[in-house]
Every structure is written in structure tokens, then in C-alpha cells.
Amino acid sequence: WVKESGRSAFRFHQPRKDVDLLSRMRLDHAMRQALQEREFRLHFQPQVSLETGELIGAEALIRWRDPLRGDVPPSEFIPVAEESGFIVAIGQWVLQQAVAQAAAWLKKGLRVPVAVNVSALQFQQTQFVEQVAQALRAYDLPPSLLELELTESVLLRDAEEALHRMQALSELGVLMAIDDFGTGYSSLGYLKRFPIQRLKIDRSFVKGLPGDASDAGIVNAIVQMGRALNLQVIAEGVETDAQRDFLARCGCHEYQGFLCAPALETRAFEERHAQIAAQAQAGQAARAQTA
Ligand code: C2E
Ligand code: MG
Ligand code: MG
Ligand code: MG
């Protein structure tokens, strides 16, 4: 299998031993059908301020229910889509859907900034900036309600090109975050050079909080560094009160995780949003009384 072009051009830089080529090709084929048959959905996970308890945004996460396979987790199909190149089409679909949903919420009076995961290959497309601009225009969404989550690998690939592209996106007015921060291996210099607004602490570091001394040290360091650089810092994968309290104490701005909610379908997200708003108000009223 050496073809580089065509409908499913698998490239194997790093042949994966866990899933064999044939099942990867089958999965890729099924994904292409799934996009046509509208089997993909976007779910939204609330992002909450550690200071006020208010909702500050939502991360859009793709979901796929295949008629035969059942729910296929993104960790299974996204790597295959990245390998075959189909991630570009999926990513474009996700971008459109997320922007459409944020715009629909805005029309209903809900201001929900939406964060979208962007794969390296998608980001490298020369049309990427134009696609973002087009989606914003098509749905008339204020650019500040869209955040792009990029991983360190995106920035590493071709740093100069990435910088240009990010500057163009920044001029559009969209926000950018570094996802899974701390898991890649890149120089910290890019934090200064790239026009980003937010760091997302990877959940592998949140897991051991507050007891694990290494995790606590790493998280503390990321938060202090982020604050010093004027970046918002959000922790992902927060599951317990103890984790949340630790993060609040060390000055982390925001969190997302099962403690608040998993990624939810639109209707359930709206219901949770209302609860979060009510809780934040009650908390603020209580604080005002004691103040
Ligand atoms: P990510 O961007 O780091 O997303 C966070 C993942 O952590 C999500 O998994 C989310 O459901 C999960 N998560 C959130 N809170 C908790 C928690 O408290 N505990 C635990 N154990 N997990 C939590 P998901 O949805 O399975 O997505 C996995 C990865 O797949 C994402 O990691 C992202 O890299 C990728 N992905 C998901 N949707 C998209 C997409 O639309 N486009 C692209 N390119 N990648 C996507
Ligand atoms: Mg993400
Ligand atoms: Mg993440
Ligand atoms: Mg992560």
C-alpha cells in the first residue's frame, strides 16, 4: 500500500501494531460513509470559571455512532483519520457544526464561546484560515466566540508557517489555545512568540491531584507560568472536588471535567448551562452577604 494520493492514502510513518492495516482501512471506509450518512454528532463539554463558577465556554467533541460498531471513541477513529488524511474533511465538518451551534445559541440569547480541536494536518491546509473566515461569515458568528485548540505538535511541524497562520487567525479575531499542554516536547519559547490566549493543562497531570507531589508541582508550575505570560489556564479532566479545590488554590482560572459534566448533546448542554448559571448566581449572592 504505497499510494500517496487518492481516496484513502494511508501513509505509514509509524506503523501501528495495535490495529492492523486492514481494520484501519475498513474503519477509514466506514468513516467516509458515516460523514455522508450523517452519523457524526458534536457534543459539548462545559468549561467553568474556578473563581465565579460561571460557564466560560464549551469544548466541541465529536461523537460517532456506527450502526454496526456502536459508539466508536474518538481515540479510535481520529488517529486513523489523521493517517489517511480524512481528518481534513472531518475537521471541516466539525468547524462548520461548532460555528453553527455557537451562532444558534447566540440567537437564543446564550453566549457560549466554543472551542474546536484542530488536527495538525487540518491546520497545515493552505485554505484553513479561509475556511475559518468563511464559517464565521456564513453563520455571522463574532470571531471571539470561536477558539481553536492546537496541540504542541502543530506548532512544531513548521514553526514559521504555523506562526504566520496563527497571526492570520489572530487578525480574524478567533482565539487560540494549546491543548494537552505539557505532554508535547517543544520549547517554551513558542508561548512568547505565538498569539495564544489559553493553556489547557492535560488531564494526565490533573489525575494525581492533590496527593501526587509531581503532578501538584507540574500543575503549579504551568499555572504560575501561564499567569506570568498573561494566559488563561484551564485544567481538563477534573473529576473530584479535591482536584478542583487544589486548582482554585494554585490560581488556575478554569476547569472542565466530569465533576461538572461530560460532553453533552445540545439539549442536555443547555439544561446544564442553566443549572451552572443558577449555582454561580447563588454563590455570588452568598459571597456578597458575607462580604
Ligand atoms: P481532548 O481534546 O484533550 O479532549 C478531552 C477528552 O477528555 C475528551 O475525550 C473528553 O470527553 C475527555 N474528558 C473530559 N473530561 C474528562 C474527565 O473528567 N475525565 C476523563 N477521564 N476524561 C474526560 P474524547 O471526547 O474521547 O476525545 C478524545 C480526543 O479526541 C480529544 O482529546 C481530541 O484530541 C480528539 N478529538 C475529539 N473530538 C475531536 C474533533 O472534533 N477533532 C479533532 N481533530 N480531534 C478530536
Ligand atoms: Mg481538546
Ligand atoms: Mg485536551
Ligand atoms: Mg487531553
pLDDT tens for each residue of 199-241: 999 999 999 999 999 999 999 999 999 999 999 999 999 999 9
Query: Does ligand 1 have an atom closer than 6 angstroms to the CB of 62?
Result: yes
For the entire predicted model, the pTM comes to 0.93
Cell of 276: 451552572
For residue 232, give the C-alpha cell: 488563561
Q: For residue 71, how far is its CA from the centre of ligand 3 (angstroms)? A: 20
**4 or 225: which leads in pLDDT:** 225
Q: How far is the CA of 216 from the centre of ligand 4 (A)?
A: 17
pLDDT digits (tens, 9 = 90+) for 147-180: 999 998 888 778 889 999 999 999 999 999 999 9
Higher pLDDT, 274 or 9: 274
Q: Quote ipTM for the complex.
A: 0.97
Determine the residue of 31, 43, 44, 61 to mutate for testing ligand 1's pocket, defined as the one with the most ligand atoms within 8 A of the Cβ atom.
61
Atom of ligand 1 nearest to the CA of 116: 41
- Residue for cell digits 481516496? 7
pLDDT tens per residue across span 37-92: 999 999 999 999 999 999 999 999 999 998 888 999 999 999 999 999 999 999 99
**Residue 94 CB less than 6 A away from ligand 1:** yes
145 lines ligand 1 (CB under 6 A): no
Å from CA of 229 to ligand 3 middle = 20
pLDDT of residue 252: 98
State the distance from the centre of ligand 2 to the C-alpha of 202, rounded, in angstroms: 9
pLDDT interval class at 6 (50, 70, 90): very low
pLDDT at 3: 37
> What are 238-276's pLDDT values in tens digits?
999 999 999 999 999 999 999 999 999 999 999 999 999
Please state the atom number of ligand 1 nearest to the C-alpha of residue 122.
44
- Which residues are within 5 Å of ligand 3 (an ion), measured at CB? 179-180, 236
Q: How far is the CA of 182 from the centre of ligand 4 (A)?
A: 10
CB of 49 shorter than 6 A to ligand 1: no
Place 1 in a pLDDT band, splitting at 50, 70 and 90.
very low
